[in-house]
């Protein structure tokens, strides 16, 4: 048997979890990692090039210092990875949002706003608001009415499940095959 790597604990195959807290911490160690994740998943596969709405072609972009944005090397157009998502203009850090999503998508019976308040160290009002946005705008229902728990992958603001079925909205509910979190409650 190979020696155990204590710095990289492996999830037991028998575990019901498809994404452990340790895996979350490794993938999202800080706020910048969450922002970078949004950037790569929404705009830039390679982290460098994106479609510039102003130039109307693929351009090289670079991160704007001290701002959550990338700008076009050719025309200076700013792309904000969080724009149009539930995180936009929130004073709560992306890291806390992502952690909240992880908590809400990894607990079988859901998590109360009160517990979220304790886990995140935010006010109850903030926790309650976050929980509602994540639950109502981010989580969606599948054909059987079962909640799909996409986790941080689903950053796009989804239509409310009871209002518009996700399958009727191509493009707004793209869960790629690599999505780990697609599982049932």
Q: Would you say 184 and 159 are in contact if contact means Cβ atoms under 8 Å apart?
A: no
Distances (CA, A) of 96 to 36, 78, 142, 182: 15, 24, 27, 21
Q: What is the DSSP string of 38-102?
A: HHHHHT-SSSSEEEETTTTEEEEEEEPTTSS-EEETTT--EE-TTTTBTTTT-SS-HHHHHHHHH
User: Considering the complex, what minimum distance in angstroms separates the CB of residue 156 from Zn ion?
Assistant: 23
Q: Which is nearer to Zn ion, 25 or 55 (CB)?
A: 55
Q: Which is nearer to Zn ion, 79 or 134 (CB)?
A: 79
User: Considering the complex, what minimum distance in angstroms separates the CB of residue 58 from Zn ion?
Assistant: 10
Binding residues with Zn ion: total (CB under 5 A)? 8
Residue environment code for 106-126, b if the CB has 16+ CB neighbours within 10 A, otherwise e: beeeebebeebbeebebeeeb
| Positions in 19-78 near Zn ion (CB under 5 A) | 52, 54-55, 59, 72, 74-75, 77
User: Considering the complex, what minimum distance in angstroms separates the CB of residue 79 from Zn ion?
Assistant: 9
Helix 31-42 vs helix 94-106: angle between axes, to the nearest 10 degrees?
A: 80
Tokens of 59: 């351009």
| Positions in 77-106 near Zn ion (CB under 5 A) | 77
User: Considering the complex, what minimum distance in angstroms separates the CB of residue 172 from Zn ion?
Assistant: 25
Q: Which is nearer to Zn ion, 21 or 55 (CB)?
A: 55
User: Considering the complex, what minimum distance in angstroms separates the CB of residue 89 from Zn ion?
Assistant: 24
Q: Which is nearer to Zn ion, 59 or 102 (CB)?
A: 59
Q: Which is nearer to Zn ion, 59 or 149 (CB)?
A: 59
Q: Which residues bind Zn ion (CB under 5 A)?
A: 52, 54-55, 59, 72, 74-75, 77
């Amino acid at each position: 048997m190979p020696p155990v790597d204590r710095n990289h604990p492996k999830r037991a195959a028998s575990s019901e979890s498809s994404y452990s807290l340790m895996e979350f911490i490794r993938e999202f160690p800080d706020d910048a990692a969450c922002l970078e994740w949004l950037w790569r998943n929404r705009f830039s596969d390679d982290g460098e090039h994106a479609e510039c709405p102003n130039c109307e072609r693929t351009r090289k972009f670079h991160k704007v210092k001290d701002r959550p944005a990338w700008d076009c090397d050719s025309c200076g157009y700013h792309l904000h990875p969080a724009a149009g998502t539930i995180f936009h203009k929130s004073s709560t850090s992306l890291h806390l949002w992502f952690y909240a999503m992880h908590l809400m998508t990894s607990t079988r019976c859901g998590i109360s706003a009160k517990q979220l308040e304790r886990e995140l160290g935010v006010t109850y009002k903030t926790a309650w608001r976050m929980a509602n946005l994540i639950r109502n705008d981010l989580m969606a229902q599948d054909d059987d009415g079962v909640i799909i728990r996409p986790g941080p992958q689903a950053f796009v603001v989804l239509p409310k499940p009871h209002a518009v079925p996700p399958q009727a909205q191509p493009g707004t509910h793209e869960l790629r095959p690599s999505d780990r979190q697609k599982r049932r409650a």
